[in-house]
Amino acid sequence: MSYYDAKARKAKQMLTKRGQIGQIARSVTTGGGPSDPSGGTVTTTRYPVRLVVFPIEIDRVDGTNIQSGDFRVICSTADVEIKLSDRIECSEGTLNIKDLGRFAPDGTIIFYDMVATG
Report the predicted TM-score, pTM, of the whole model to 2 decimal places.
Answer: 0.82
* Euclidean distance between the first and the last CA atom of the chain, given in angstroms as a whole number: 36
Q: Where are the domains of the chain?
A: 3-30+39-117
In 64-108, alpha helices (H): none
Distance between CA 71 and CA 16 in Å, rounded? 19
Report the length, in residues, of the chain: 118
Distance between CA 98 and CA 93 in Å, rounded? 15
- Dump pLDDT digits (tens) for 53-94: 999 888 878 877 888 899 999 998 877 899 999 999 999 999
Second-level CATH architecture of 3-30+39-117: Beta Barrel (2.40)
